[in-house]
Amino acid sequence: MRTGFKRHKADRKLLKVCGATTKADVELLAGAGADLVGLWHGVADGPAEVSVDEVTTLAEAARATGRLEPTLVTFLSDVDTLRQIIERTGISWIQLHAYQMPGVIAALRQSVSTDLTIVKVLHLKNGKCLERPLIKAYERAGVDVFLLDVVTASGQIGSTGQRLQASDVANVVPTFSKPFLLAGGISAHNSADYETVVQHPQFHGIDVDTGARNHSGRFERKNITDISRGWRTARYVEVA
Ligand SMILES: O=C(O)c1ccccc1N[C@@H]1O[C@H](COP(=O)(O)O)[C@@H](O)[C@H]1O
C-alpha cells in the first residue's frame, strides 16, 4: 500500500502507532487496525531507535501487509541526509517531530522527487503552540499534515503520555488550513473528551505510543484494537 496523503479519503480517520522495531511489531499493528506505523531514526537515545537498514526492512514488511504505511519519525534536520534515507528506504511519509524550521521542509520538498507526505509536529506547552508564529511559513514550505503533540514542562517531546486539552487544540487549529493528527496520551477511553476535535473537518486521525503498549513497554494488541474502536479509525470495523 502507498497512501500518499493526497489520495487519502478524508472521512477515514487514521490510526498511527509509533515505535515498531521488529517485523513481529509491524505484523501485530497491521492485524490490530493501525494504518500507519512510525519507525524512528535520528531520535537520539530513543528506546525504539532503528538503523536505516532496519527502517528499510521494516518499511518493506509494513507495505507487504497491504494495510500499513511506514512513516519515518525523526528529529533530523539535515536535508541531504533525509533525502538519502528516503531514497534508500522508499519511505513516502515523514514525521518531523523536533523543531525543524520551515526552510528544512521547503528544501526537502525540492530535493525529493517522489510523492512524499510531510507531517510536521506542532508542540503545545502549557496549552500554547510554540511554533505558532511559523505556522503560515510551514504551510508555504509544503507541510501536508500537522501533528499536535505535548511538550512537557521539562521539555520532553514525543511519547510523553500527556494529554492536550480539547480547548487548546481548538485554539490552534484555526491558524492553519491543513489537516491535522492528534497525539498525546491517546487511549481507548478518552475519545469522548475530544468530541469537538474529532468533529472538526481538518481532523484526520490520531497518533499513539504510550497507550498502545502494556506495562512491559510492548505493543498490546487489545490496547490498539480498543483504540481503533474507541476512536472509530479507518479500520475499526475490521478489528471490532
Ligand atoms: O514515541 C516516542 O518515544 C517518540 C520519540 C521521538 C519522537 C516521537 C515519538 N513518538 C510520538 O509521541 C507521540 C505520542 O506519544 P504518547 O502516545 O503520548 O506516548 C506521537 O506523536 C508519536 O509519534
- For residue 141, give the CATH number of its domain: 3.20.20.70
C-alpha cell at 177: 488550513
Residue 2 reports pLDDT greater than 60: no
Residue type, 34: A
Query: What Cα–Cα distance (Å) separates residue 178 from each residue in 135, 147, 182?
Result: 10, 10, 13
This model of the complex carries an ipTM of: 0.94
Q: What is the pLDDT of residue 45?
A: 85
* pLDDT above 90: percentage of residues in the chain: 89
Q: Which H/E stretch holds residue 124?
A: strand 117-125
Confidence of residue 6 (pLDDT cuts 50, 70, 90): low
Arithmetic mean of pLDDT, 92-111: 98
Confidence of residue 237 (pLDDT cuts 50, 70, 90): confident
Atom 19 (ligand 1) nearest CA: 159
Residue 206 reports pLDDT greater than 90: yes
| Domain count across the chain | 1
Round the average pLDDT of the chain to a whole number and report it: 95
Closest-lying ligand 1 atom to the alpha carbon of residue 48: 3
User: Which residues fall within 8 angstroms of residue 119, CB to CB, at 6 or more apart?
Assistant: 71, 93, 94, 95, 96, 143, 144, 145, 146, 147, 181
Atom 7 (ligand 1) nearest CA: 158
What 3-state DSSP class applies to 36? strand
Ligand 1 pocket test target in 71, 73, 169 with most atoms within 8 Å of CB: 73
Task: Compute, in angstroms, the gap from residue 208 CA to the centroid of ligand 1.
Answer: 7
Q: What is the pLDDT of residue 1?
A: 47
Characterize 188-209 residue by residue with b for buried, 16 or more Cβ atoms within 10 angstroms of its Cβ, and e for exposed: beebeebeebbebeebbbbbbb
Ligand 1 pocket test target in 50, 97, 182 with most atoms within 8 Å of CB: 97
Residue 8 reports pLDDT greater than 70: no
Q: What is the pLDDT of residue 119?
A: 98
Task: Compute, in angstroms, the gap from residue 182 CA to the centroid of ligand 1.
Answer: 11
Q: Comparing C-alpha atoms, which of 9, 14, 11, 50 is closest to residue 231?
A: 14
N-to-C CA span, the chain: 22
Atom 15 (ligand 1) nearest CA: 159
Arithmetic mean of pLDDT, 56-77: 98
Residue type, 44: A
Closest-lying ligand 1 atom to the alpha carbon of residue 186: 17
Greatest CA separation for the chain = 43
Residue 40 pairs with which residues in a beta bridge?
A: 49, 73
How far is it, in rounded angstroms, from Cα 147 to Cα 122?
6
Residue 36 pairs with which residues in a beta bridge?
A: 16, 69
Of 2-6, 111-115, 123-127, 159-163, least confident by mean pLDDT is 2-6
Residues 165-192 pLDDT 10s = 999 999 999 999 999 999 999 999 999 9
* Domain span at 28: 5-236
How many CB atoms within 10 Å of residue 143? Answer: 23
The model carries a pTM of 0.95
Residue 219 near residue 29 (C-beta atoms within 8 A): yes
Task: Compute, in angstroms, the gap from residue 160 CA to the centroid of ligand 1.
Answer: 7
How far is it, in rounded angstroms, from Cα 58 to Cα 10?
26
